[in-house]
Amino acid sequence: MSCSVNLIEISYSNGKDKILKDINLNLGHEEKIAIIGSNGSGKSTLLKIIAGLTAPSMGYVELFHNKIISLNEFKKYRRDIAYLPQDVTNHFLCPTVIEDVIFSLRTRGDSEESALKKADVILKDLQINHLKERIIFDLSGGEQKIVALAGLLILKPKILLLDEPTNALDEKSEQKIIKILNSLKKSMVIVSHHKSFIESLTPTIYKLEDSTLEKLDN
């Protein structure tokens, strides 16, 4: 299995506190892994390091077998890595659903017409075509998560990094997200508290505890 992401001896400290210590992790091609851990254990920080948003204090990230030393080097892989933040409202950069979904394509130079065509396909696939013209901040939490996913998937990324994708969602919305994520053939790192949610997506589960990452037995 070829490797999408490789974390080598990653450590991260926030002042005096050591949040991550010598973390090693391999994420294979189209492999799904989940990371669980208590509040404040550093799960989101680890995800931000993989996404190239936070620099580790020690160690480095390998993306598609290329060693990444600085955050600047992540720029050429931005299209391949999609990151969904824990608070999904932080993801949105445009007022309406359709404008936000096509944002990443437009900012990378796609024409409005071509971006709209691609958005139509993805919105139909995720069954949210009816939300197209709505103001994002008027949508429910579940709808916002799916819209955010549409905005990520439109770029056809190779790696999906999801921080608590079912946080504060009802069961129906959670099931819809599970269905969508299970249908995707992509490398994924999912951070979540919900064990049942994680187990319905992947058998590969890691636990982040005392700053270290440990693989859990099936």
Partner 1 sequence: MKNKESLILLSSFFYSFIVAFSVLDYIFLLPLGIVLFSEKKNIFKIIKKLIFLNFFIIVLVIFVYFQNPQNALELLIRTNLILLFNSTLFHKSKGYDIVRGLDNLKVNSKIISVFYFTLILINYLRLDFKETRNTLKSRGFKNNTSMFTYKIYGNVFAMIIIKALKKSEDIQFSMQARGFKNKIYFLNSNTINLFEHILMGSVIMIFIKVIYELFG
Question: Which residues of this protein are in contact with partner 1, per CB under 8 A?
Answer: 48, 51-53, 78-79, 81-83, 85, 87, 89-96, 98-99, 102-104, 106-108, 112, 116, 135, 137, 151
Kindly tell me which of 96 and 200 has the beta carbon lying closer to partner 1.
Answer: 96
Tokens for 64, please give them: 């598609």
Kindly tell me which of 99 and 143 has the beta carbon lying closer to partner 1.
Answer: 99
Please state the closest distance from residue 210 (CB atom) to partner 1, in A: 26
Please state the closest distance from residue 15 (CB atom) to partner 1, in A: 16
Classify burial at 30, counting beta carbons within 10 Å of its beta carbon; exposed 0-12, middle 13-18, buried 19 or more: middle
Q: What is the largest CA-CA distance in the chain?
A: 51
Query: Please, which residues have CB within 8 angstroms of residue 69's CB and are 6 or more apart in sequence?
Result: 60
Kindly tell me which of 8 and 53 has the beta carbon lying closer to partner 1.
Answer: 53
**Integer Cα distance of 168 and 13 in angstroms:** 29
Alpha helices in 93-134 (DSSP H): 97-107, 112-125
Secondary structure letter of residue 73 according to DSSP: G
Please state the closest distance from residue 105 (CB atom) to partner 1, in A: 9
Kindly tell me which of 21 and 104 has the beta carbon lying closer to partner 1.
Answer: 104
Please state the closest distance from residue 144 (CB atom) to partner 1, in A: 13
